[in-house]
Amino acid sequence: MKISLSSKGDNLDSELDPRFGRAQYFIVVDSETKDFKIIRNEQNINARQGAGIQAAKTIIESGAKVLITKNCGPKAFDVLNAQGIKVAIISKETTIKNAMEKFLAGELKIADNANVDGHW
Amino acid sequence: MKIAIASGKGGTGKTSITCALAKSLDENIKLFDCDVEEPNVHIFFNKQKISSSLCNVFVPLVDQSKCNFCLKCEELCQFNAIVKIGDSMMVFPEMCHSCKGCKIICPENAIINSSKNLGQIKTFQEKNITVVYGELRIGEPMAPPLIDAVKNKIIDTDINIIDAPPGTSCPVISTIKNVDYLILVTEPTPFGLNDLVLAVETARILKVPFGIIINRADIGDNRISEYAKKENIEILMKIPNNRKIAESYSRGETMIKAKSELKKEFKQLYTKIITK
């Protein structure tokens, strides 16, 4: 299963980016092979509006079935939800690697709603 | 004739001056409140009978059976309002600016007209003044299309006085573009000057002729006068900081009621603007 995470940097030791739509990078990890892919989110960081929607689209197109992030707004959540992608929210600062491990150990709760308003 | 009143900084007295100017004139006046997020011109009038109409604008609806995912609409839309998600085109009405670009560019005619409500346009008459104002639907983030709809009621040959929202962002641009003259209301304080400079830059980009009214002119310092001199901007009028004006304002009356001599000054101001 592919797991996507919002990341401040381009490797597994990077910190989880607190923002989803305007995250620096997305890292998509294959939970079996541990292979990972880096997606730069350059275009969205400076988007006038709709960064969350476009970021959600990026996640969908990456083939990920799960998104781990710190904050997810209502539009992004709706788009991900409509495509059956689960959103797991971590509130504390953590690395990509740690966040992955926590998710695989079943320690993360799947959100059933956006946890922040748009443009928080 | 279209005269707009804007400020940059909020709370400088745009609406007070708009209403005082309109009420000082004997001609038939059309008064437009384009601060659709918080219209307040009407507070200064005894509204007898307000008529209102809904303002609806275009948003796309996608006929998924006709769409072949060429994505021309998605590429065109600068606001991410129409996006391919999975195996369908999703529309986000709250992002849509109603430009109809998606409908025009779609080679498959897959875009169907739909609409969303932006708010209401209200109007009433008091003596020689007709007031028209927009009221943005609560929760609707997009003011400019409603402002455009309010401005659509303008007849160029009338005397139109237009109250702008504060700031220098899209709603202000929508309000002040294409006016014949712009009055910038400011106050002689650091905030007043800071935001005036932004408003002046905006007016210059839009190539709208403008002048300044300094409200509460006897507070603060001379920074506005010095700036105006340096930039060669005309100071149209100075209004004193006066308790009677504040008291009349708190009762929903204009400053010409508190200081009747201002009425003459506003008349002269109007004559000055129309003879420019």
Res B66: pLDDT: 96
Residues of A in contact with B92 (CB under 8 A): 50, 53, 75
B74 vs B72: CA distance, rounded Å = 5
Please give chain A's pLDDT, 120 residues, in tens: 999 999 999 999 999 999 999 999 999 999 999 899 999 998 888 887 889 999 999 999 999 999 999 999 999 999 999 999 999 999 889 999 999 999 999 999 899 888 888 766
B210 vs B204: CA distance, rounded Å = 9
Residues in chain B with pLDDT values less than 70: none
ipTM tops 0.90: no
The pair phi, psi for residue B243, each rounded to 5°, is -65, -40
Q: If we measure between CA atoms, which residue out of B111, B136, B160, B158 comes closest to residue B3?
A: B160
CB contact (8 A) between residue A53 and residue B80: yes
CB contact (8 A) between residue A83 and residue B79: no
How many residue pairs bridge chain A and chain B with CB atoms within 8 Å of each other? 35
Question: What tens digit of pLDDT does each residue of A82-107 get?
Answer: 999 999 999 889 999 999 999 999 99
Q: Which domains can be identified in chain A, with CATH numbers?
A: 2-104 (3.30.420.130)
Mutation target among A49, A54, A62, A81 for the B interface, most CBs of B within 10 A: A49
> What is the DSSP annotation of chain B?
-EEEEE-BSTTSSHHHHHHHHHHH--S-EEEEE--TTS--GGGGS--S--EEEEEEEEEEEE-TTT-----HHHHH-TT--EEEETTEEEE-GGG-----HHHHH-TT--EEEEEEEEEEEEEEEETTEEEEEEEEPTT----HHHHHHHHTT--TTSEEEEEPPSBSSHHHHHHHTT-SEEEEEE-SSHHHHHHHHHHHHHHHHHT--EEEEEETTTSS-SHHHHHHHHHT--EEEEE---HHHHHHHHTT--HHHH-THHHHHHHHHHHHHHT-
Placement of tokens 């204009």 in the chain: B254
Q: What pairs with residue B51 in β-bridges? A: B123
Residues of A in contact with B96 (CB under 8 A): none
Res A120: pLDDT: 66
Res B270: pLDDT: 98
Residues of A in contact with B83 (CB under 8 A): 50, 53-54, 57, 79
CB contact (8 A) between residue A53 and residue B92: yes
A51 vs A57: CA distance, rounded Å = 10
